[in-house]
Amino acid sequence: MCQELGWIPAQNYATPEESDEYDITQSMVFLAIDDFSNAVGTSRLILPGEIPFPIEKHFVLHPMEQIENTYGKIKYAMEVSRFIIPQNPAIKNHEITKMLCMEMLSTLLKMGATHAFISADYRFFRLLNILGFDFAQIGEPKIYMGSKTIPGVTNLKNLASRLEREKPHLYELLTTNKKLYEEMASV
């Protein structure tokens, strides 16, 4: 996907695997597979640690005091990263996006996270909000990894209660792990 979209130069990697400093100790990877054990989507959560989040390193964000005044006190946050769903006419991309989001959201809540950060292509940022994941822009967009990218945050407590009211089918997926795993497996 990095090669297809021109995100990073392939010659910088001895193997055809992109990796960074977060992969060693500060990340959790999520993988969606189809009925034939092919990867049809991936994402990761970057955990807090010694290395600042990529959103902090690569974007000019609003002052943290302003972000917390608007979106709540950030006690424990993680960053959504490497959200990739390759183009494939045989799969339902939005369903894979929704399932990966729900699995990450479930994990974030189980780990006690209050907020999630993301820096996403403006089209994907809009899609996440259409699907109900409520990310708000918290800094200036910029061209990053080849496209206009928006830095954002979501308050997870507010998100869970909003999903319960406005998108009960997503809330049910969030609170019923067995069903979530079954749906992920059937994508």
Residue 154 is encoded by which pair of tokens? 């979501």
Q: What are phi and psi of 34, to 5 degrees?
A: -90, -175
Confirm if 136 and 153 have CB atoms less than 8 A apart.
Answer: yes
Domain with 116, as residue range(s), is 2-185
Contact (Cβ atoms closer than 8 angstroms) between residue 118 and residue 79 = yes
Encode pLDDT of 55-78 as tens digits: 999 999 999 999 999 999 999 999
DSSP line for 41-91: EEEEEEPPSSSPPHHHHHS-BPPHHHHHHHH---SSEEEEEEEE----TTS
Buried-state track 101-137, b at ≥16 Cβ within 10 A, e below 16:
bbbbbbebbeeebbbbbbbbbeebbebbeeebbbbee
Count of structural domains within the chain: 1
CATH of the domain at 127: 3.40.630.30
**pTM value?**
0.84
**134-175 tens-digit pLDDT:** 999 999 999 987 789 999 999 998 887 888 888 888 888 777
